[in-house]
Each structure stands twice: as structure tokens, then as C-alpha cells.
Structure 1
Amino acid sequence: MTTTLLGGRRPLHNARVACSARPAFSRLRRCGVFASAAVSSSPAPVSEPSAPDVAATEADTRADRTADASSSAATASDAPRPGYHPKAPRVPPTLIKPGPGSRIDDMELLKNGVILVDKPLGWTSFDVCGKIRNMIRFLEVKKVGHAGTLDPNASGLLIVCTGKGTKFCDDFQAQDKEYSGTMRLGEFTPSYDAESEVSERSAWEHITDAELQAAAAKYVGDIMQVPPMFSAIKVGGMKMYQLAREGQALDLPPRPVTISSLRVWRDESSRQDVHFYVHCSKGTYIRSLAHDLGRALGTHAHLVALRREASGDYRVRDAWQMADLITEINSRRDAHRAAAEAATAEAAAAAAAVAAAAGAAAAVEEGAAVEAGAAVEGQQA
């Protein structure tokens, strides 16, 4: 068989063509060779292809090579890397909230749980987590965290995650929040709340309810908000409230937040205090909202009361009172310890009984051996 290159100029006898594993015609086209098999030993003439045929052949060749490269790349990307082990899927934590009789039926749930707590005034979020961590230490739970800080002067819903449930803290923290509270007009504090003393006062009596509603409407939607100096935001490795207490003042850049709804109203008994209910996005500072609303009204304002009503689908009405939670966990812990001690005592008694039975059996065997030995000696005598 004789193979002829394009143009029929240089015959190649018994030519071997290196191509990919494709049908014969496709392989030869990729290598730019047309093979013509003849019954006789003489080669059949091959005509010179036209320019369009050559261009089409080259285009097919490029397409085939591109397809081969894409297939190889896909195969390489799909192949697992050496030593690679896929991560196990996260197990959703169990929601632990007060039920009938406010009982936690299974303490094992605390190893991967979410506890809804109604944080009392005066407690920090860290205080709540530390108390729960100490109470469930007997379950060997090492990780306890929360999904969103509440200031000591604020109360309401605090989502506490335990054990493997702490992996979901960021998910819970990213949810929208709902707050109720009270701001006081005409007074300024450096912390924007009642944690610091009033340092400035201004007139507020001229503010009408219509002006209050109009000012509040300006803060509904996507807004830019400047965080308060007294906050946990870190600058240069230090928290802002630490710098503020040292007398350092920094200009913080505004951050985007979303106020989905804001309702404000006043009671006739105290026109200086403005009550509110707000639905907002993660990262919204209600203290800054009170401060900014006061400025929009041409006066000062600071936060005097705050309560977190909801976080995502979780609401404070479904949360544990801290005192009830402490009582419940302590009682269940004591019952757990008593059961463990009883099981230990039972196991020790069972082990002692087995040892006594083994000793009695050994004594019987020893007595039988002595009798057998005496019988043998008697026969020999």
C-alpha cells in the first residue's frame, strides 16, 4: 500500500501516522493525509484539493483538537486530587425552646443545639454563653457561641449555639432583626445610649408628630449609617469602645444597611420619649439610628431602652427566661450525675459478683483437685 501526501508529490510507502483513537478517516483528516486504497499494487492518483477544501480541513482539525483539549481538561478537573477527602455535610442543630412544663427531654441535644434565650438586662452576651458553657460542661461540650451581640443595657432574643451548632452562628447572624425600644429627644451622650452620661442638651419641645413621622420615613430603605464610637468594631486591632474610652476620636466611614420598616410614636404622658419598632438588616446600629433621627429633627437623641424582638424566624416569645433555663439545666445535670453514679455502682456490684463467683469456682476446682490427689495417693499405698 502506498500513501501519498497532498498534491501527490512525495509517496510514503508503509507510512505510519500517529493520531488519536478515532475512526480511520477522521484520524487521517486530522493529520492532513488522505489515504487511497487500491486493489492493485500501483498507487491511485490523488487530485490536488481546492483552497476551500484545505480551509475546511484545517478548521475541522482545530475543532477536533479543541474538543480533545476540553475533554481532557474536564476529565482532569473532575478527577479527585490525591489525599482529598470531601467535607461531611453540616448537621442542622436542634432548636431547644421551652416546651410543655419547660423541660429539656434529652440533654444530648445540647451537643448540637440552638437555645433561644431572653437575655436579661445587665447581662452581656458573653455572660450568657459562659453560664451555659459551665452548666453543660458535664456533657463535654467545649464550644458555645451566640449569633449577634446584645448590649448589657438591652434585653431580648439571644440565639445561643452549642457544640457543632456553633458552625451555624454566621448563618443566624446574617438574618434580619426586629427591635422595639425608646429614644429620648433633646439629650446627647457619647455612647448614643444611657451607658454614658448626658453631655449636651437641646430644645425638643417644638417637634410635632408630623415632623417626627416625616423624619422617620427618610430612614426607611437602603441607607448609609456611621457606627457609633462605642462599638465592637476593630480599628488597628483595638475595639472602638476601647479607643473611645481613651479619648481618641476617629471618623468612621458609613456602611450600607437596610431599614425595612420603622414605626415611631409618642405617649401624651412623656412627649420627650419616642417609642419605635424597627425591622432592619444585619449590622444596623439602633443607637446610631436614634442619634441620626435626632439630628434630622434639629435636636439630639439617644437610646434609653432596647429589646430584640426577633431574629429571622425566631422570636423572643419562644425563648427561655434565663432563670428557668438555669434551673432546668441544673436539675437535668443533677439527674444525669445521679444516673451515672447509679450505673457506676451497679457495674461495680456486678463486677464484684463476677469476681466472687470466679473465686468460688476456683475454690471448688481446688478442692476437687485435692480430693483427686488424695485418692491417687490412697491407690498407690
Structure 2
Amino acid sequence: MNNQPPDFSETIIMVDKPAGWTSFDVVKKVRYALKIKKIGHAGTLDPLATGLLLLCTGRQTKKMSTLQDLDKVYTGQMVLGKTTPSMDLETPFNSLSTYDHISAEMVKAAAATFVGTIMQVPPIYSAVKVDGKRAYKIARKGEEAMLTPRSIMIHSFLLTAIDLPFITFKLVCSKGTYVRSLAHDLGKKLGVGGYLHALCRTQIGDYCLEEAYSLERLCQTNKLPI
């Protein structure tokens, strides 16, 4: 029986990111716990989101841009009738609308219009650069920034449950897709507003969340036999 811990110095590590952690927090934690000098992540997850985060170590860091280009799969929940500046629960609600006139059929019809190649404006609370500055830093100062629409591909937008104001979904999309923006845009199209309530990334290309380490387990692998 081999009781040696695995070697993570030259590999791609699948991690199940917990809520409340930034992607950089995870990189920093794993670097320290596993004593890895060269490590980075291949695609940011918002702090409030959970799910699959790919960490590349050693020479595998050269693959980060390729991994970032892979399609992603998400599951989550949107809520109609309220909006926030960040389009999720990071910031307080700033509008409230009645959704009593909205039916499940109306939600499905609106969601169908987002499938395919669409133009999407990133959230102001995002890491997109505007004149050399991160948009979220501009937003947190109370200033405004002009963000330009970007072309993305929504391969599938499946509504798995509709219990208004809650909409549970599964999304398959291209790189560069902001699910917060999708929630906001769906609410806007229905005329009642909307925000992203919960999000989990379940797949990146062929990498699946089911095969990922929990952060706690990963950081114990240099101490415990596998």
C-alpha cells in the first residue's frame, strides 16, 4: 500500500471552491499548505459562487489560457423582482418590483431568447479593466464606468424549476459569460428585474466537480495518507 501523498508540484488540481473565498484566496491557501512555488488558477469564480476551480502548478501553468477557453457548466438560482448593483448578493437591494403578472411560460419564453450567440455587458462589480482599472474598484468608489458589450455563446439555458420569484437553472456557456449579467438581463427582459441568488460551477470542459478535492481535504494531503 502506498501511503505517500500525491505530488502536486506539476499538475492540474480540481478544487471545490467554498462560498466566501475568492479564487486568489484558494490559490494562496493551497500554495502555503502544499508548499508549491508556482501555482495559479484557470478561470475566476466569484466569491459568493461555489464549485469547480482549476489550479495549475509548475509547468502546467502554461495550460491556464487553454483551460480558460473551455466551455463551462453552471447550476444555480435566480430571483425575479429585485435587483442589486452587483447583480448578486454582494451588495444590498436597490429596487423592488411586483412579479405577480409573470407566468412560468413568460419566463421560459424570455430565457429562450438568450440561447445562442449574444452580446452581454459584464457587471460593474467585475474584474474587467476600464481604462486600466478594475471595474469593481471603480464601482466601490461610487463612480461609474462604461463597460462595452462582449460576444458570448449560451449553448443551453435549461430552467429546471420555476417557483416564482425563484428560477432554478442549468447553464452551458462559453468563456467570458457572466451568469450575474444573465440573471440581470432576464429580469430586465421580463420588466421586473432580477439577480443571481446562488451559483455553482459543475464542469469546465471534461473536468467535473464530482472529481474535485474539497479545500480542506486538499490541504491535508501532505499530512495524511491517501
Counterpart of 2:178, as a letter, is Y
Which residue is 2:150 aligned to? 255
1:331 counterpart SS class: coil
- 2:5·2:222 contact (CA, 8 Å) conserved in 1? no
Which residue is 2:55 aligned to? 160
Higher strand share: 2
User: TM (normalized to structure 1)?
Assistant: 0.57
Which residue is 2:131 aligned to? 236
Give structure 2 stretches of 5+ with no counterpart.
Answer: none
Counterpart of 2:98, as a letter, is A
Q: Distance in 2 between matches of 1:330 and 1:233?
A: 38
Cα drift, residue 123 of structure 1: 1.2
Spell out, residue by residue over 1:131-179, the C-alpha distance to the aligned partner (whole angstroms, 9 max, x if none): 1111222xxx421101110111000000011111111111111100000
Cα drift, residue 113 of structure 1: 0.7
Residue 116 of structure 1 pairs with residue 19 of structure 2: no
Q: CA RMSD in A?
A: 1.7
Choose which of 219, 223, 228 in structure 1 pairs with 2:114.
Answer: 219
Counterpart of 1:120, as a letter, is P
Moved over 3 A (4+): 103-107
Identical positions, percent: 45
Based on CA coordinates, which of the two structures has the bigger radius of gyration?
Answer: 1
1:330 counterpart SS class: coil
1:194 counterpart SS class: coil
Q: Distance in 2 between matches of 1:148 and 1:105?
A: 30
Cα drift, residue 106 of structure 1: 5.4
Higher helix share: 1
Spell out, residue by residue over 1:181-203, the C-alpha distance to the aligned partner (whole angstroms, 9 max, x if none): 00110001000000000010011
**1:100-111 counterparts in 2 under 5 A?**
105=4, 107=6, 109-111=7-9
Cα drift, residue 105 of structure 1: 4.8
- 2:130·2:145 contact (CA, 8 Å) conserved in 1? no
Cα drift, residue 264 of structure 1: 1.3
Residue 319 of structure 1 pairs with residue 212 of structure 2: yes
Cα drift, residue 330 of structure 1: 3.1
- 1:259·1:278 contact (CA, 8 Å) conserved in 2? yes
Q: Distance in 1 between matches of 2:30 and 2:59?
A: 15
Counterpart of 2:157, as a letter, is L
Counterpart of 2:26, as a letter, is V
- 1:118·1:319 contact (CA, 8 Å) conserved in 2? yes
User: TM (normalized to structure 2)?
Assistant: 0.95
